[in-house]
Chains A and B, each alone.
Chain A
């Protein structure tokens, strides 16, 4: 354990709707920190969807979301998530 690489702290994370994903792999391919990978599981349509293989490397840059042709994934910095959650609550009071 003592020879392990320094622990990286993630600056953001991704949100995925697995059922909407069509497995095109743009997000995985173009993630600048290479932190995404295909899931082991299939969605109902039979596609593998992206998961955070190395969540500690996610910077929340959102490039995955910009590439996604299906609006299935988007990324966000943790510091922006708080503000977005508040906005989300405001527009979905029942959640």
Chain B
């Protein structure tokens, strides 16, 4: 054992040891998790838990909903009311959860394929409705859990198992979709931007309405390996070099490819009544005394 490292079952001059501040937010008996070496999902979870701590929320009231995929496994590792639902359907589940108990702070945490391929329709409508949900999308350009198939975000030219000669299909720009559908908060960061991401999480957790955060993260085992892009750390170095901070950028201009700028920052931040607020105010005005405000 190295003398220059403190191990948490060792101590320095007889003093008791310190817990990783993240541990209370995790289901510790389930750690270590299933994610690969260098997978960016764990980093996003690290930032998320720090944000939970800093936001000083009532954790009994924070609920997390995920879909299927590597990122979908996040729900199982967080020590919150957590729901691991079906592929693509985390958002409607979260809608039901939030509407049944508006006191809950509901976060959807899932991957690019889950949220935008099979789940695309639900994403669009929840954004359109301004459902009061925070949707976190870890975008690794692939379907990781199933072995690295092409995803709606896979850049042109990238090789994946179902595009074995290189992807020829046009990818979606997630912030653009979110903005167009009506999301009231749209941001993108990468796992290089750990401090900014933590701050963004904290800010988003305190807001209302349909909030969307895209986090670009490496999938070393499948996306990087098949495209000879090195290890996770090589990709994160790329994020560092290629990132350009442009808060308020026009979401039409933030598409990401295999090369070129990766625009990060908060692109959209506006206010609109949430679905529930609209329901309550509308029914009150139309039905008058016959209506009692729901959830308040």
* Residues of B within 8 A of A (CB-CB), count: 43
Map CB proximity to B onto A46-66 as digits: 1 under 8 Å, 0 otherwise.
010011110100000001011
Map CB proximity to B onto A18-46 as digits: 1 under 8 Å, 0 otherwise.
10101111100110000000011100000
Knowing A16-B7, A24-B37, the reply to whether A41 touches B2 (Cβ < 8 A) is yes
Task: Give the contacting residue for A16; candidates B5, B21, B31, B41; CB below 8 A.
Answer: B5
Knowing A14-B6, A84-B19, A91-B19, the reply to whether A69 touches B231 (Cβ < 8 A) is no
CA distance A67 to B7 in the complex (A): 18
Chain B residue with minimal CB distance to A20? B32
The minimal Cβ–Cβ distance linking B21 to chain A, given in whole angstroms, is: 7
Q: Does B194 have its Cβ within 8 Å of any Cβ on chain A?
A: yes
The minimal Cβ–Cβ distance linking A45 to chain B, given in whole angstroms, is: 9
CB pair A66 B233 closer than 8 Å: no
CA distance A5 to B8 in the complex (A): 32
Q: Does B232 have its Cβ within 8 Å of any Cβ on chain A?
A: yes
Chain A residue with minimal CB distance to B24? A91
The minimal Cβ–Cβ distance linking A84 to chain B, given in whole angstroms, is: 4
CB pair B194 A69 closer than 8 Å: no
CB pair A66 B46 closer than 8 Å: yes
CB pair B7 A71 closer than 8 Å: no
Task: Give the contacting residue for A74; candidates B21, B40, B43, B47; CB below 8 A.
Answer: B21
Chain A residue with minimal CB distance to B2? A51
Chain A residue with minimal CB distance to B19? A88
Knowing A18-B7, A29-B233, the reply to whether A71 touches B37 (Cβ < 8 A) is no
CB pair A51 B194 closer than 8 Å: no
Query: What bracket does the count of chain A residues touching chain B fall in?
Result: 35 or more
Map CB proximity to B onto A61-92 as digits: 1 under 8 Å, 0 otherwise.
00101111111001010000100110111011
Q: Does B285 have its Cβ within 8 Å of any Cβ on chain A?
A: no
CA distance A24 to B43 in the complex (A): 11
Q: Does B50 have its Cβ within 8 Å of any Cβ on chain A?
A: yes
Knowing A66-B195, A67-B194, A69-B38, the reply to whether A15 touches B2 (Cβ < 8 A) is no
Task: Give the contacting residue for B237; candidates A14, A29, A53, A69; CB below 8 A.
Answer: A29
CB pair A14 B5 closer than 8 Å: yes
The 10 closest A-B pairs by CB, nearest first: A69-B42, A22-B37, A24-B38, A52-B4, A66-B194, A51-B2, A84-B18, A51-B5, A69-B43, A74-B20
Please, could you name 27 A-B residue pairs with CB atoms under 8 Å apart, sorted by A? A14-B5, A15-B7, A15-B18, A20-B32, A22-B36, A22-B37, A22-B38, A24-B38, A30-B192, A30-B236, A39-B5, A41-B2, A50-B5, A51-B5, A65-B20, A65-B21, A66-B47, A69-B38, A69-B41, A69-B45, A70-B32, A71-B23, A76-B18, A81-B18, A85-B18, A92-B16, A95-B16
Q: A22-B37, A74-B20 are known contacts; what are 4 more A-B pairs with Cβ within 8 Å?
A: A17-B20, A30-B192, A69-B38, A95-B16
Query: A-side interface residues toward B, CB under 8 Å?
Result: 13-18, 20, 22-26, 29-30, 39-41, 47, 50-53, 55, 63, 65-71, 74, 76, 81, 84-85, 87-89, 91-92, 95
